[in-house]
Amino acid sequence: MEKDKAVLSWNEGKIKTLIVETLRGLSQVLLIENAISGMIILLAITIASYKLAIIAFISSLIGTLVAQKGRADGDGLSKGLFGYNSVLTGLALFMFLSGPNDWIIALFGAAAAAILTAVMMFWMRNTKIPILTAPYILLTWSMLLVSYRLKSFQLSQDLVPQSLAHWKLNIKGEINWIEGAVSGLSQIFFIDHTAAGVLLFAAVIVAGWRYALFAVLGNVIALFTAYWLGGEHTLIYEGHYGYNAILAAIAAAYVFRDKKGGIPHLLSGIIAAFLTVPLTASLDTWLMPYGLPALTMPFVFTTWIILLVRKVLPGL
Amino acid sequence: MEKDKAVLSWNEGKIKTLIVETLRGLSQVLLIENAISGMIILLAITIASYKLAIIAFISSLIGTLVAQKGRADGDGLSKGLFGYNSVLTGLALFMFLSGPNDWIIALFGAAAAAILTAVMMFWMRNTKIPILTAPYILLTWSMLLVSYRLKSFQLSQDLVPQSLAHWKLNIKGEINWIEGAVSGLSQIFFIDHTAAGVLLFAAVIVAGWRYALFAVLGNVIALFTAYWLGGEHTLIYEGHYGYNAILAAIAAAYVFRDKKGGIPHLLSGIIAAFLTVPLTASLDTWLMPYGLPALTMPFVFTTWIILLVRKVLPGL
Amino acid sequence: MEKDKAVLSWNEGKIKTLIVETLRGLSQVLLIENAISGMIILLAITIASYKLAIIAFISSLIGTLVAQKGRADGDGLSKGLFGYNSVLTGLALFMFLSGPNDWIIALFGAAAAAILTAVMMFWMRNTKIPILTAPYILLTWSMLLVSYRLKSFQLSQDLVPQSLAHWKLNIKGEINWIEGAVSGLSQIFFIDHTAAGVLLFAAVIVAGWRYALFAVLGNVIALFTAYWLGGEHTLIYEGHYGYNAILAAIAAAYVFRDKKGGIPHLLSGIIAAFLTVPLTASLDTWLMPYGLPALTMPFVFTTWIILLVRKVLPGL
């Protein structure tokens, strides 16, 4: 309550800055620093579910406020870098938990994500490798597993632990290629809604045509690679393989483009998107006994490896 | 045998120093550097089980001797910093293994713990974050799992691997709040004995009233948080959630108190104790397929995060 | 195809250098830098299976070419340090996968191993600890698990995930000590063939009698330690405990011999070989729910610990 009052006592400029940073936090989920994109993303989520949109906005706000109150170092705050992990954590916990307390736990998670973001930024400072969505992933996995031991955390029925010994891979079924074309981008925000998918694409175009190009490219490569390597058809068209590929393609080909020599950026993005497919399959298996989703970990691992390769193998 | 002779040939002063360092090693389990506290702890363990007390003392002695013989760097030796991981490893292996060889394996583990302590201290030197009980935990987990493949390691019947798929959380049953009040401190040493619990509290008071204050505070917060979040009632009053909270509260609020500005130490200790509860629940789940206990890992993670937050978010 | 032409257009000297580096890559699997040893190793693999030998040679070649094309730093290339992880990854994937695509995946893995080798070398540069076979292990584990989700990866029937809850240790059965004497060295290359084992030993002798001494010593210690601690008899004589001990003994006692003072090299090698046995047992258990083999991870962990101990505890 005191924090609310403090916010109100600020002058208008400060509130405006806070809103802009919060919206940038939303856009940073797609590696974009653009408040307009953030607003369109928020609109897209609202179409799919207004509750989810509220969680997303408040999560980004909480992340930004925590970093501001904590006096986080550098210019990450104004770029929205303390918002995106909070947005994703809030959304994931709200989606994968059920029961009356899920939104409280989600917002608590959003605050914790901002803190973990600051900690990991410091921790990985010397490597000069970005933390990406690692704080969100580690925190969400840990918080979802709490549900097995504390009654107030209720896990959604979708997450089912399975023994590898009893697992049978069944890839049968038609692929809905049209649904596949838009589902990848929506999956990042845990939504499954065609109009929302189109709006998310608009958010990407606003930020620059290159973002849009690599998003499409990443998704297409993931669809065909996963099909070619024999992934489960329902997972493919639901965007299960697409969302990590989109993020990895954008990251490798455009956002972290400090590349000199070696293979061109476009090829780099294609390779990144391709690699996320087996990595997603591998991580799905590692997590199967725990019933946890891979989230954006394949994107994180792929991007880290691509960025490190540029450092150590400049000829590639 | 040669080592024994060498010890005897020392002058009295050297033996006295060795005993003091060994007792300090015992007290460092509770983050205390005080030989008197160490002696009272030894007495408390003796009341519960004289065998356990012998293992605890010899483990600390072995840890100290290994570090001394190895010429470990710095002043850690005189502070007892090479004893506490050995004490805990010796106790844990003795408790969780059975069969005729358990004490040999326990003492071998104590020696290995001192070596791993030195290695991890070096490894984490640049982070300026203390290793806490991490060597003990990693070593004990690894050594307990040996029992599934080598006949001479016999696991206690208490440690049962369980599939998450078949796990049902049952929190029913009365809570014995009085037992809960003393069980937390004893659980650190794997004992379950009221008089011993009271003596351990005396060991804490001797070291300073602030230690005692934060020990009580940590335990109370863990009891109520675990109850409020819906933990299993038997686990709660047996101190399962309390012991990590006690250590985290002492560490965050008192031992590592190089805090300037931000939230006060007391609040910092309360938050630390609170955080250990969901972290304990999460770690219990991660380890369920292996049937391993969380040991003091929730305390380690919580304290590391709190200390890193102080560095990177000075406003918190 | 373009690469092939480029290779042919080189002058003879460059091709010769490439072949020598490729053979050194094969010998580096045994921590040896010697093209003659590499050639004998290739011959030994050929005796057991010519297909496996082709995979081994091409994998080493691919690893070397990737590092060359990527302009890897330092003199690792000429020493064959970009070949051995590729050799092992190629062999392991070819052995543990089945189906028509296994050799394509194996060679893709060999290229990825060289890249991961460069990344991990950079990443661990400051620790001054060698990466050993860590890239191979992490990559092979990850790629084997892909088989549970993508149809084109077909896992061999040998790798069966098992719940710890249903596991019964059965150590009954005779030990074939003679088979045990030669199986350790062959296991490193996933082969089980007496004449091949003898040839591998010749490859070791060519590199120096000390290599041979520590290989024998490591194997003998592993056989007796595993028997004494109660390991499964079939695993013991098949070399399951021996191959890590051989590598660890060679590494600790001879290859990384920058030791001053403390216990002598010979004892250091004996301790290393001994430690790999419980470590193998522990890792086998950790990986049991995933049905993954421990590969050479016990050797990696043991050697890392021994090398770090020399830094931090110079008296040992």
- Higher-pLDDT residue of C184, A26: A26
Query: In sequence order, what are the beta bridge partners of A98?
Result: A154
Q: Find the closest chain C residue to B122 by CA distance.
A: C312
Name the A residues in 165-224 with CB < 8 Å from any B CB.
Answer: none
- DSSP, collapsed to helix, strand or coil, labels residue A205 as helix
Query: How close C7 comes to chain A (CA, Å)?
Result: 17
Q: Find the closest chain B residue to C171 by CA distance.
A: B151
Q: What is the pLDDT of residue C2?
A: 52
The model's pLDDT over C149-165, given as tens digits with 9 standing for 90+, comes to 999 999 998 899 988 98
| Stretch C178-205: mean pLDDT | 90
The C-alpha angle with vertex C87 and arms to A226 and C56, in degrees rounded to 5, equals 100
Query: How close B154 comes to chain C (CA, Å)?
Result: 11
Q: Find the closest chain B residue to C166 by CA distance.
A: B161
Q: What is the 3-state secondary structure (H, E, C) of chain B?
A: CHHHHHHHHCCHHHHHHHHHHHHHHHHHHHCCCCHHHHHHHHHHHHHHCHHHHHHHHHHHHHHHHHHHHCCCCCCHHHHCCCCHHHHHHHHHHHHHEECCCHHHHHHHHHHHHHHHHHHHHHHCHHHCCCCCCHHHHHHHHHHHHHHHCCCCCEECCCCCCCCHHHCCCCCCCCCCHHHHHHHHHHHHCCCCCHHHHHHHHHHHHHHCHHHHHHHHHHHHHHHHHHHHCCCCHHHHHCCCCHHHHHHHHHHHHHHCCCCCCCCCHHHHHHHHHHHHHHHHHHHHHHHHHHCCCCCCHHHHHHHHHHHHHHHHCCCC
Query: How close A315 comes to chain C (CA, Å)?
Result: 4
The model's pLDDT over C25-52, given as tens digits with 9 standing for 90+, comes to 999 999 999 999 999 999 999 999 999 9
- Asked if residues B245 and B222 have their Cβ atoms less than 8 Å apart, the reply is yes
- Which of the following CATH numbers is that of domain A2-151: 3.40.50.300, 1.10.3430.10, 1.10.3720.10, 3.40.50.2300? 1.10.3430.10
In CATH terms, is domain C8-148 a member of 2.60.40.10? no
Cβ separation C150–A285 shorter than 8 A: no
- Mean pLDDT, all residues of chain C: 91
Q: What is the 3-state secondary structure (H, E, C) of chain C?
A: CHHHHHHHHCCHHHHHHHHHHHHHHHHHHHCCCCHHHHHHHHHHHHHHCHHHHHHHHHHHHHHHHHHHHCCCCCCHHHHCCCCHHHHHHHHHHHHHEECCCHHHHHHHHHHHHHHHHHHHHHHCHHHCCCCCCHHHHHHHHHHHHHHHCCCCCEECCCCCCCCHHHCCCCCCCCCCHHHHHHHHHHHHCCCCCHHHHHHHHHHHHHHCHHHHHHHHHHHHHHHHHHHHCCCCHHHHHCCCCHHHHHHHHHHHHHHCCCCCCCCCHHHHHHHHHHHHHHHHHHHHHHHHHHCCCCCCHHHHHHHHHHHHHHHHCCCC
| pLDDT-based confidence at residue A7 (cuts at 50, 70, 90) | low
Phi, psi of B227 (to 5 degrees): -70, -45
- Asked if residues B277 and B230 have their Cβ atoms less than 8 Å apart, the reply is no
| Stretch B13-22: mean pLDDT | 92
Name the A residues in 260-299 with CB < 8 Å from any B CB.
Answer: 289-291
Is the confidence at residue C259, as pLDDT, over 70? no
The model's pLDDT over A60-106, given as tens digits with 9 standing for 90+, comes to 999 999 999 998 877 888 999 999 999 999 999 999 999 898 999 99
- Higher-pLDDT residue of C128, B279: B279
Q: Find the closest chain B residue to A166 by CA distance.
A: B165
Q: What is the pLDDT of residue C127?
A: 81
Residues in chain A: 316
| Stretch C205-228: mean pLDDT | 94
Task: Return the axis-axis angle of helices A242-250 and A177-188, rounded to nearest 10°.
Answer: 60
| pLDDT-based confidence at residue C1 (cuts at 50, 70, 90) | very low
Is the confidence at residue B4, as pLDDT, over 70? no
Distance CA B63, CA C260 (A): 23
What is this model's ipTM? 0.92
Percent of chain C with pLDDT over 90: 72
Cβ separation C145–A171 shorter than 8 A: no
Percent of chain B with pLDDT over 90: 71
Q: What is the pLDDT of residue C298?
A: 97
Q: What is the DSSP string of A216-269?
A: HHHHHHHHHHHHHTT--HHHHHTTTTHHHHHHHHHIIIIIT----SSS-HHHHH
Cβ separation A72–B312 shorter than 8 A: yes
- H-helix or E-strand spanning residue A117: helix A102-123
| Stretch B183-212: mean pLDDT | 92
- C150 to chain A, any CB pair closer than 8 A? The answer is yes
Half-sphere exposure of A262 (CA within 13 A, CB side): 26
Q: Find the closest chain C residue to B145 by CA distance.
A: C282
- Higher-pLDDT residue of A72, C147: C147
The C-alpha angle with vertex A88 and arms to A84 and A90, in degrees rounded to 5, equals 115
- DSSP, collapsed to helix, strand or coil, labels residue A171 as coil
Distance CA B119, CA B67 (A): 11
Cβ separation A230–C151 shorter than 8 A: yes
Query: How close B97 comes to chain C (CA, Å)?
Result: 14
Distance CA C306, CA C3 (A): 42
| pLDDT-based confidence at residue B123 (cuts at 50, 70, 90) | confident
Is the confidence at residue A123, as pLDDT, over 80? yes
| pLDDT-based confidence at residue C126 (cuts at 50, 70, 90) | confident
| pLDDT-based confidence at residue C73 (cuts at 50, 70, 90) | confident
Is the confidence at residue B9, as pLDDT, over 80? no
For residue B309, list chain A residues with Cβ-Cβ distance below 8 A: 70, 115, 118-119
Cβ separation A153–B229 shorter than 8 A: yes
Is residue A178 classed exposed, middle or buried when 0-12, 13-18 and 19+ CB atoms within 10 A define those classes?
exposed
Query: How close A94 comes to chain B (CA, Å)?
Result: 17
Long-range Cβ contact pairs of C20-24 (< 8 A, separation 24 or more): C21/C64, C21/C77, C21/C78, C21/C80, C21/C83, C22/C57, C22/C60, C22/C61, C22/C64, C22/C80, C22/C83, C23/C60, C23/C80, C24/C78, C24/C79, C24/C80, C24/C83
Q: What is the pLDDT of residue B214?
A: 94
In CATH terms, is domain A174-312 a member of 1.10.3430.10? yes
Spatial CB neighbours of B207, under 8 Å, sequence gap ≥ 6 = B27, B30, B32, B34, B37
Q: What is the pLDDT of residue B176?
A: 85
Spatial CB neighbours of A188, under 8 Å, sequence gap ≥ 6 = A29, A30, A243, A246, A247, A296
Nearest CA among A287, A307, A308 for reference residue A297: A287
Q: What is the pLDDT of residue C264?
A: 83
Distances (CA, A) of C246 to B111, B207, C287: 24, 50, 22
The model's pLDDT over C107-117, given as tens digits with 9 standing for 90+, comes to 999 999 999 99
Structure tokens at B112: 């290995």
Q: Which of B70, B152, B160 sits opposite C313 (nearest CB)?
A: B70
Cβ separation B119–C163 shorter than 8 A: no
The model's pLDDT over A40-55, given as tens digits with 9 standing for 90+, comes to 999 999 999 999 999 9
Distance CA C80, CA A240 (A): 40
| pLDDT-based confidence at residue B286 (cuts at 50, 70, 90) | very high
Q: Which of B163, B228, B315 sits opposite A70 (nearest CB)?
A: B315
Q: Is C173-312 the same fold as C8-148?
A: yes
Q: What is the pLDDT of residue C258?
A: 74
Q: What is the pLDDT of residue C227?
A: 94
The model's pLDDT over A159-210, given as tens digits with 9 standing for 90+, comes to 999 889 888 898 888 888 888 888 889 999 999 888 999 999 999 999 999 9
Is residue A168 classed exposed, middle or buried when 0-12, 13-18 and 19+ CB atoms within 10 A define those classes?
exposed
In CATH terms, is domain C173-312 a member of 1.10.3430.10? yes
| Stretch B102-125: mean pLDDT | 94
- What b/e readout covers B137-173, taking b as 16+ CB neighbours within 10 angstroms? bbbbbbbbbbbbbbebbbbeeebebebbeeeeeebee
For residue A73, list chain B residues with Cβ-Cβ distance below 8 A: 312
Cβ separation A160–B165 shorter than 8 A: yes
Nearest CA among B95, C72, B104, B19 for reference residue A316: C72
| pLDDT-based confidence at residue B1 (cuts at 50, 70, 90) | very low
Q: What is the pLDDT of residue C116?
A: 96
- Asked if residues B272 and B253 have their Cβ atoms less than 8 Å apart, the reply is yes
All partners of chain B with 3 or more CB pairs under 8 angstroms:
A, C
Cβ separation C289–A313 shorter than 8 A: no
- What b/e readout covers B54-92, taking b as 16+ CB neighbours within 10 angstroms? bbbbbbbbbbbbbbbebebbeebbebbbbbbbbbbbbbb
Q: Find the closest chain A residue to B165 by CA distance.
A: A161
- A164 to chain B, any CB pair closer than 8 A? The answer is no
Query: In sequence order, what are the beta bridge partners of A97?
Result: A155
Most confident of the ranges A5-9, B168-172, B284-288: B284-288
Instruction: Tell me how far the alpha carbon of residue C291 is from its chain's centroid.
Output: 19
- Asked if residues C193 and C178 have their Cβ atoms less than 8 Å apart, the reply is no
Domain boundaries, chain C: 8-148, 173-312
Please give the CATH number for the structural domain made up of B2-150: 1.10.3430.10
Is the confidence at residue A263, as pLDDT, over 80? no
CA dihedral sign of residues C154, C159, C165, C166: positive
Cβ separation A116–B305 shorter than 8 A: yes
Q: Find the closest chain C residue to B152 by CA distance.
A: C229
For residue A286, list chain C residues with Cβ-Cβ distance below 8 A: 145, 290
Count contacts between A and B (CB, < 8 Å): 97
Instruction: Tell me how far the alpha carbon of residue B300 is from its chain's centroid.
Output: 10
